[in-house]
């Protein structure tokens, strides 16, 4: 598998993702010194480390498919035979889709994976499904995918 784009969530988004694990840690303090509190604190701390280090939007490809991944939450596989079109678009995550992360919009008719920025790769399937993934260099991603489709 070849990684075409790796775009990390900005620090503000990663800190927001830490909210849930932080609550797990806070509630585990109520269970100390019993054994239940220790394992909850360990899970919460592990999740906080994961949310600070991992979240990113990744576009990868191999000979049969293109993967759009919101690490570590979600992924979609798009078969090369299912791609009707692939283009570079400007997207406004907050205005068009209501924020960053994995967002859907009936108004824009698509699913957005947004980490940072306003440039995105838009892939439309033969069945009309539209997927957008933010990328620092969408033209390079398209150039890497299109020749392999021919």
How much is the average pLDDT of 85-107? Answer: 86
Whole-number pLDDT of residue 36:
65
Kindly report, residue by residue over 119-149, the tens digit of the pLDDT. 999 999 999 999 999 999 999 999 999 875 4
Distance of alpha carbon 89 from the chain centroid: 17
Does pTM top 0.85 for this prediction? Answer: no
DSSP letters, 24-43, are HHHHHHTTTTSHHHHHHHHH
Whole-number pLDDT of residue 150:
46
Whole-number pLDDT of residue 35:
66
Whole-number pLDDT of residue 24:
87
Kindly report, residue by residue over 25-37, the tens digit of the pLDDT. 888 887 766 766 7
Tallying the residues shown for the chain, one arrives at 150
Kindly report, residue by residue over 43-75, the tens digit of the pLDDT. 899 999 999 999 999 999 999 999 999 998 899
Whole-number pLDDT of residue 3:
93
Kindly report, residue by residue over 4-15, the tens digit of the pLDDT. 999 999 888 889
The more confident residue out of 1 and 88 is 88
> Residue 100's pLDDT band (boundaries 50, 70, 90)?
confident
Whole-number pLDDT of residue 131:
94
Contacts of 132 (CB under 8 A, 6+ apart): 89, 91, 110, 111, 112, 113, 114, 120, 121, 122, 123
């Amino acid at each position: 598998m070849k990684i075409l784009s790796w775009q990390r969530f900005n620090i503000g988004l990663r800190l927001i993702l830490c909210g849930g694990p932080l609550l797990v840690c806070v509630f585990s303090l109520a269970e100390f010194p019993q054994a239940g509190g220790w394992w909850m604190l360990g899970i919460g701390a592990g999740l906080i480390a994961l949310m600070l280090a991992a979240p990113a939007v990744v576009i990868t490809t191999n000979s049969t498919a293109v993967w759009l991944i919101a690490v570590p939450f979600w992924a979609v596989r798009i078969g090369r035979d299912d791609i009707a079109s692939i283009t570079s678009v400007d997207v406004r995550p907050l205005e068009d889709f209501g924020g960053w992360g994995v967002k859907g919009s009936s108004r824009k008719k698509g699913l957005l994976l947004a980490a940072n920025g306003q440039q995105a790769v838009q892939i439309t399937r033969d069945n009309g499904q539209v997927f957008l993934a933010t990328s620092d260099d969408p033209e390079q991603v398209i150039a890497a995918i299109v020749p392999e489709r021919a």
